[in-house]
Amino acid sequence: MKASVKICGISSAEDALAALGCGAEFLGLIFEPKSPRAVTPKQAEEIAKAVGGRAKLVGVFVSQTADFIKDAAKKQNLFAVQLHGGQNAEFVKSLGALDAEIWKVVWLENESDLAEAEAFEADRILVDSKSGGSVGGTGKRANWELAARLAKKRKVILAGGISPENVREAVNAVCPCAVDVNSMVEDSPRKKNHLKIKQLFENLKEMENTQMKSNGKFGVYGGQYVAETLMPALQELEREFYRAMGDADFQDEYRGILRDYVGRETPLYFARRLTEHCGGAQIWLKREDLNHTGAHKVNNTIGQALLARRMGKRRLIAETGAGMHGVATATVAALFGMECEVFMGAEDIRRQAQNAARMDMLGAKLTAVEIENGEATLKDAMNEALRDWVATVENTFYVIGTAAGPHPYPTMVKEFQSIIGREAKAQLMEKCGRLPDQVVACVGGGSNAIGLYAPFIDEKGVAIYGAEAAGQGIETGKHSASMQGGSVGVLHGNKTYLLQDEYGQIMDTYSVSAGLDYPGVGPEHAYMKDTGRATYVPINDAQAVHAFRTLCRLEGIIPALESSHAVALAMENAKNLSKDKIIVVSLSGRGDKDMNSVMEYLRK
Ligand SMILES: Cc1ncc(COP(=O)(O)O)c(C=O)c1O
């Protein structure tokens, strides 16, 4: 979604140039003498001269005659004439063949206004709030719901109380081709506030950055490979997600819960003894293990549960491998008083008995997924969750725990997990005054990794590394390294690298760490691998367990086995870098849940 901006009520060359400098496509000159922001033809000429053809000028007319409008359009070389009065189709006809677009202002209050607006012969329809005779600039919000309906049929420009604070929400809600901003970016009529104009553009740009890759495609990867019955649910989710992103109340609530309930921000800790042990670059740990529930997963489940509540869904479902995402989903279901069902492979329930018990304690229904031949693990749980969703989509929200699944999940999960990278970036800036040389994370489906990477992707000086689970070695076939050992296919509603046989059947995966035991990877990782922006390295069980033990002994931190893969990779990389270099590692979770797995591994 991308909207142009018209800054309206420009009455000086200085304001015109400031708006232009920030990126305004249209500048509105109000020719109605009764307006407090009116310009005379002479002032209009001066403004036109100052911008010198670099902006599209729009003349706003209320009571002027057709001849006056035609004259102004010609003299000031107007891109459009905006008809703000009761001008009807007859009047438009009397303007004859203008060299300018015709924009008609409408006020939408009910269905009949909508039908009338739809029928109007104009190039664009500008939806404004009722302004009691004044020419815009009232700060009052228009009817966004009706505007959004009109925008599906006509080119709509949205006006009425658009501000730097609500511009994202407005664009997400209405999908206009442009927004018209006036009183909310001025100190007083005839004096625009240039800082506010700048802020408006920055807010819009931030939104576009989030959405840049959000048509669901990352190169050839991503997409929505789902049953047709799920498409309306995904479209509704996409719409609600973008609305929520632009909604200050949603953001406040989300951040408040992360702060007061989860315990954010998490520390960025300099692992001095680990660094000395490796003898090279400094290793800094982003302590997601200190989050409530013991891992990064909760950053995402809180965001998705808030969306579910916003969409009126009372039941959450999730699939889980290691159980951390299941626990995080059961936790938020308890927090928000929602029903929760978690699907988990029978084999994983055995391996992660403690997490299974936690979900039970939290009041979630744990459904063990069995298969006829073989051991049921994460992929089987995923299949079951998708099957349930198809049947219950009306009242059920599917909380996906990693940066995979059909669009908008990869983008949405990235957004909710990007708090990891944003905090780490600011914390390192504060402590060391610079960016890291490398960021390192483990990659299962890739949510903690993409969350850490997010604010560094455009920082070309920061190298990005991901550790994939190589299990007993890629050559043995007993691994979960979809990018190193897999091929392109479709899994879990998106196109990506995955572990499949020659018929496209998903293969069994293996890793000492249940949370990396995912047969695919999020589509943005697949894209970053192909483009070379990130380097993905296989780390086997032995390396991970060695890193696990080293961190325990040297730093007094028991990491999750998943995170131990990232620590192992960082230790390798650190050895090859000088001491002034900095590596930031996502310590995605704590290792209490992995005690049995490690003991079992060490006994072998
Ligand atoms: C602590 C921890 N880290 C990492 C992961 C891997 O997931 P992702 O790649 O989505 O971050 C898991 C999955 O359960 C986990 O529990």
List alpha helices for 489-540, DSSP H. Answer: 523-531
Where in the chain are all domains bearing CATH 3.20.20.70? 4-211
Is 134 annotated in the active site? no
Q: Phi and psi for 33 in degrees, rounded to 5?
A: -60, -25
- Identify the top-confidence range among 38-47, 134-143, 510-519: 38-47
Which residue(s) pair with 469 in the sheet?
A: 539
Do 81 and 74 form a contact (C-beta atoms < 8 A)? no
Cα distance between residue 297 and residue 288, in whole Å: 9
- From residue 178, alpha-carbon distances to 1, 3, 62 in Å are 11, 5, 21
Q: What are phi and psi of 589, to 5 degrees?
A: -165, 170
What contacts 443, CB < 8 A, 6 or more positions away?
449, 466, 467, 468, 483, 516, 521, 525, 536
Confirm or reject: Cβ of 446 under 6 Å from ligand 1: yes
Catalytic residue among 131, 163, 588, 597: 588
**Torsion 223-229-231-234 (CA) sign:** negative
Task: Tell whether the model's pLDDT for residue 211 goes beyond 80.
Answer: no
Write the CB contacts of 553 (distance below 8 Å, at least 6 apart in sequence): none
> Ligand 1, atom 7: nearest CA belongs to which residue?
444
How many percent of the chain have pLDDT more than 70?
A: 97
Q: Average pLDDT in the 49-58 region? A: 91
- pLDDT-based confidence at residue 209 (cuts at 50, 70, 90): low
Please indicate whether residue 402, judged by its CB atom, sits closer than 6 Å to ligand 1.
yes
The least confident of 350-354, 402-406, 481-485 is: 350-354
Q: Name the residue at shortest CA distance from atom 15 of ligand 1.
A: 515
Mean pLDDT of 169-192: 91
Distance, CA 264 to ligand 1 centroid (Å)?
A: 18
User: Which one from 6, 70, 297, 425 is the annotated catalytic residue?
Assistant: 297
Per DSSP (E only), the strands in 346-401 are: 365-369, 396-398
pLDDT in tens, 439-466: 999 999 999 999 999 999 988 899 999 9
Q: Answer whether 289 contacts ligand 1 (Cβ < 6 A).
A: no
- Could you confirm whether 297 is annotated as catalytic? yes
Per-residue pLDDT at 213 exceeds 50? no
Please give the pLDDT value at position 249. Answer: 84
What pLDDT is recorded for position 248?
75
Q: At residue 212, does pLDDT exceed 50? A: no
pTM, full prediction: 0.71
Measuring CA to CA, which residue among 472, 488, 477 is closest to residue 526? 488
Q: Where are the beta strands (DSSP E) in 409-546?
A: 438-442, 463-471, 487-491, 494-498, 534-540
Catalytic residue among 186, 240, 265, 319: 319
* CA dist., res. 465 & res. 349, Å (int): 31
Tokens 């192909």, located at residue: 530
Atom from ligand 1 closest to the CA of residue 289? 1
Q: Which residue lies with its CA nearest to atom 4 of ligand 1? A: 562
Averaged pLDDT for residues 219-233: 92
510 φψ region: left (φ > 0), alpha (ψ -120 to 50), beta (else) = beta
Radius of gyration of the chain (CA): 28
User: Which residue intervals of the chain bear CATH 3.40.50.1100?
Assistant: 215-234+294-411, 268-293+417-603
The predicted model gives 549-577 an average pLDDT of: 98
Alpha carbon nearest to ligand 1 atom 1, residue = 589
SS3 at position 318: strand
Q: Which is more confident, 94 or 273?
A: 273
> What is the assigned CATH class of domain 215-234+294-411?
alpha beta
Q: What are 364-411's pLDDT values in tens digits?
A: 999 999 988 777 888 889 889 999 999 999 999 999 999 999 999 999
pLDDT of residue 208: 67
588 is catalytic: yes
Separation of CA 505 and ligand 1 centre (Å): 24
C-alpha to C-alpha distance for 308 and 303, rounded to whole angstroms: 9
Distances (CA, A) of 108 to 45, 157, 243, 280: 33, 13, 21, 65
State yes or no: pLDDT of 65 exceeds 70: yes
Among protein residues, the one with the nearest Cα to ligand 1's atom 13 is 515
Domain 268-293+417-603, CATH: 3.40.50.1100
Residue 206 confidence (pLDDT) above 70: yes
CATH code: domain 4-211 is 3.20.20.70
Report how many helices (DSSP H) and strands (DSSP E) the chain contains, helices first: 24, 24
Residue 246 alpha carbon to ligand 1 centre in Å: 28
